[in-house]
Every structure is written in structure tokens, then in C-alpha cells.
Amino acid sequence: MIEHYVLFKAISGLEGDLEAALAQFDTGMQGEPWLIELTYGPNINTRSKDLGWTHGMLSRLPDYPTFENEYWNHAAHVRFLGQLDGLCETRFALDYEVVEESGR
């Protein structure tokens, strides 16, 4: 499984617009059988909020080819990417393949 985390630093005053764009993205991705999970929300961690990170998003996908071919090129994702430069000072993505541990 692939975990795709994105942290966002919204431009001051545009936090609500970023939340609306995240909600629109979520709606656009609904019903895709290859998308295991998509969650997002405002940051509640004091330390990272003090560094300016206002929102986070997590997408879970079955494998990297699905991330590259289905998710990345999906019309809702392309539209969302096009909105982000006008809504965010910066963003940071971290992708990794889940390593299962035995005994949990």
C-alpha cells in the first residue's frame, strides 16, 4: 500500500478557500475503486502550526503504479494541483510504501 501525505501552508486569509478546494478534490475522487482512503483537515498540532503548516491530507492507494497512473493523472487531482499555487505558500508531500510489522 502507498501512503501519500501532503502538508499545506495556506496563504494567510485563504485557509477557508484551501479547505473548499480540498473538499472539491475529495468529491471529485469519490467512487474511484482504486482509492482506498482520502482524508484531510486543518492541522491541530501546535508545534507544526507554529511553523505555518495549516492543513494535511492523506491518500491511500494499493500500489505505486496506481499512484502514478490513476491518481496523479485523475482530472480532479490535476484541477486541484492547478489551484494550489494560488492558495498555498508552499506544500510538502511524502510518499512511502507501507511496511507491515508482524505481531500487531
Q: What is the pLDDT of residues 64-73, one digit of tens each?
A: 999 999 999 9
Reduced to 3 states (helix: H, G, I; strand: E, B; else coil), residue 29 is: helix
**What is residue 85's predicted lDDT score, i.e. its pLDDT?**
96
Which 8-state DSSP code applies to residue 75? H
Domain map (residue ranges) of the chain: 2-57+70-90
103 pLDDT tier (thresholds 50, 70, 90): low
Q: What is the pLDDT of residues 23-62, one digit of tens each?
A: 999 999 999 999 999 999 999 999 999 999 999 999 999 9
Q: What is the distance between the alpha carbons of residues 54 and 44, in angstroms, rounded to a whole number?
A: 8
Paired strand residues for 5: 58, 94
CATH, range 2-57+70-90: 3.30.70.100
- Please, are residues 17 and 76 in contact by the beta-carbon 8 Å criterion? no
Residues 6+ apart with CB under 8 A from 80: 21, 22, 24, 25, 28
Reduced to 3 states (helix: H, G, I; strand: E, B; else coil), residue 43 is: coil
100 pLDDT tier (thresholds 50, 70, 90): confident
101 pLDDT tier (thresholds 50, 70, 90): low
